[in-house]
Amino acid sequence: MSTSRRRKKGRKFPDEGVSAGQGLRPSLRRWSTAFCLALLGLISCVGHGQARSVTSITLSRAKDIPSTWTGVRKIIVIGDLHGDYENFEKIIKGTGLVDGGLHWKAGDTHFVQTGDIMDRGPNAKEILDVLMALEREAEAAGGKVHVLLGNHEELNIGGVIFRYPDYLAANQFKSFLPEKYRRRRERELQKRQSIAQARGDRTPFEVIAEEFWNALKNDPDAQHEYLVNFNNKYGKWLLRRNIIIKIDETVFVHGGISEKFSLWSIQKINDRYRNELTDIQRALVYGEPTYPSRLELAYQGDGPLWYRDLATVPEADMKDEVDLILDNLGAKHLVIAHTPRTAVTLEQMRRFEGKVWIVDTGISRAYNNNLSALRIINGEFSVWDGDHEQKENTGLPGAFSDVFGHFGRLLPGVQ
């Protein structure tokens, strides 16, 4: 069956263009309206001309960001975390990456986190802080921490997250606000609670606080404070990370790689994406008059952060295409996330006879609370599920149900 007949063409970013001026200071809104209209046009790929791009700093620095490694003995892979720090800590301890004090103890191991650290759960900041520290410690020990960008990092870096405020947990929003601004708002919250108590209102403080911070997410000035403060440290750090890497004969990416982008080099994918998202960040968050290139990767339904076909299309319909994708990449395996599995089993995580592995098992309690990690030791794949290890049996069938269960109620394309 042809690709065009078995599934629709890769869908563009599902109506998630930021509203004009949303998240920006009033002084920037007049200019941002025009830019947002331009951005929406870029996301829809209106026009095919190459626009001028003011990304010389990014381009000059991209060359020193490696994206391929060889001779790696052991790899630990963890999928979407969605703000669940407690489960993240259990996994990195349980897989032997860190000691009881959360310091690196895995020597020359490579640890890959495939993106979507952010949103839905409350503690993305704490996870990022640990990953940033582990990155330095692993490097000193001869190992490596690879943090890949997922579509939810993209939503926050580009400021589009406020188009979907329900994805942004109240505590995540609060935690990335500037300290001075957050303290001022906390005083307002305390005053509100005092007034409620004086009136005999017995609503628990936790409920009042949740409502307060969720309401504040709709305030344009608060949105601006969040975006600028987040991007000043974490967004800029994330933009120095990759969206796709290759370790020996395995490629790692958040959503997946289509045949179209498998023809690109891994370095080209990373460089192009970094430039696109940097332009969006500088324009929508910082209000700089940049001239972004036409978007080919960022916010694209068939781009590496959003593509789902490797996880959803029946294997019989895509077997030959998977072989072609891997051949183009010079790889034997693809490890992806983004599309949640309903259980931590080899049958759920393994597709196309072990050529594709899916590591999004709904780790966060916002999903399934399924602790998991993928181990690759000397080329042998196994699954850690919190209690024991499931080793790959090459005789296992690759097919499994593509039914999403309760995930079907989520907005298609985001997750």
Whether the Cβ atoms of residue 220 and residue 300 lie closer than 8 Å to each other: no
Cα 90 from Cα 103, distance rounded (Å): 13
216, 250, 281 - which closes a domain: 216
Which residue in the block uniquely carries the two structure tokens 């995930």? Answer: 407
Which residues contact residue 159 at a Cβ distance below 8 angstroms, ignoring those fewer than 6 apart?
18, 22, 23, 223, 227, 280, 281, 284, 285
Structure tokens at 354: 């072990």
pLDDT digits (tens, 9 = 90+) for 259-296: 999 999 999 999 999 999 999 998 888 888 766 668 99
SS3 213: helix
Identify the DSSP state of 283.
I
Predicted pLDDT of residue 392: 67
170-to-58, 85, 176, 232, 324 alpha-carbon distances in Å = 32, 15, 10, 20, 44
pLDDT digits (tens, 9 = 90+) for 246-258: 999 999 999 999 9
Is residue 334 in a domain? yes
For 162-174, what is the mean pLDDT?
A: 95
In terms of phi and psi (left: phi > 0; alpha: psi -120 to 50; beta: otherwise), the region of 119 is left
User: Do both 35 and 63 map to the same domain?
Assistant: yes
User: Do both 158 and 89 map to the same domain?
Assistant: yes
Torsion angle of the four alpha carbons 332, 368, 243, 136, in this order, in degrees rounded to the nearest 10: -100
Is residue 11 in a domain? no
216, 234, 250 - which closes a domain: 216
Cα 346 from Cα 224, distance rounded (Å): 44
Which residue in the block uniquely carries the two structure tokens 């599934």? Answer: 7
Is residue 386 in a domain? yes
Max Cα distance, the chain (Å): 70
User: Do both 210 and 246 map to the same domain?
Assistant: no
122 pLDDT above the threshold of 80: yes
Identify the DSSP state of 150.
-
* Structural domain count, the chain: 2
1 pLDDT above the threshold of 80: no
Is residue 300 in a domain? yes
Is residue 28 in a domain? yes
SS3 316: helix
User: Do both 154 and 69 map to the same domain?
Assistant: yes
User: Do both 146 and 175 map to the same domain?
Assistant: no
Is residue 147 in a domain? yes
89-to-36, 99, 168 alpha-carbon distances in Å = 39, 10, 21
Predicted pLDDT of residue 90: 97
216, 251, 284 - which closes a domain: 216
User: Do both 156 and 174 map to the same domain?
Assistant: no
Closest CA to 304 of 352, 272, 278: 272
For 72-95, what is the mean pLDDT?
A: 98
32 pLDDT above the threshold of 60: no
Parent domain of 185: 170-216
Burial of 113 (0-12, 13-18, 19+ CB in 10 A): buried
Average pLDDT, the chain: 83
Predicted pLDDT of residue 291: 64
User: Do both 118 and 254 map to the same domain?
Assistant: yes
Predicted pLDDT of residue 346: 86
- Rg over CA atoms, the chain: 21
User: Do both 208 and 151 map to the same domain?
Assistant: no
pLDDT digits (tens, 9 = 90+) for 284-343: 888 887 666 689 999 999 999 999 999 999 999 999 999 999 999 999 999 999 999 988
Cα 164 from Cα 413, distance rounded (Å): 13
Predicted pLDDT of residue 286: 86
Q: How many helices (H) and strands (E) does the chain have?
A: 16, 12
CA 401, 406, 409, 414 torsion: positive or negative? negative
Which residue in the block uniquely carries the two structure tokens 């103890």? Answer: 105
Whether the Cβ atoms of residue 285 and residue 160 lie closer than 8 Å to each other: no
pLDDT digits (tens, 9 = 90+) for 180-217: 999 999 999 999 989 988 898 888 999 999 999 999 99
User: Do both 198 and 183 map to the same domain?
Assistant: yes
The CATH number of whichever domain residue 30 belongs to comes to 3.60.21.10
Is residue 33 in a domain? yes
Whether the Cβ atoms of residue 55 and residue 275 lie closer than 8 Å to each other: yes
Cα 83 from Cα 195, distance rounded (Å): 32
Is residue 8 in a domain? no
User: Do both 342 and 194 map to the same domain?
Assistant: no
Identify the DSSP state of 243.
S
- Residue 16's pLDDT band (boundaries 50, 70, 90)? very low
User: Do both 295 and 374 map to the same domain?
Assistant: yes
Sheet holding 250-253, edge to edge: 68-69, 244-247, 250-253, 333-336, 356-358, 350-351
User: Do both 340 and 206 map to the same domain?
Assistant: no
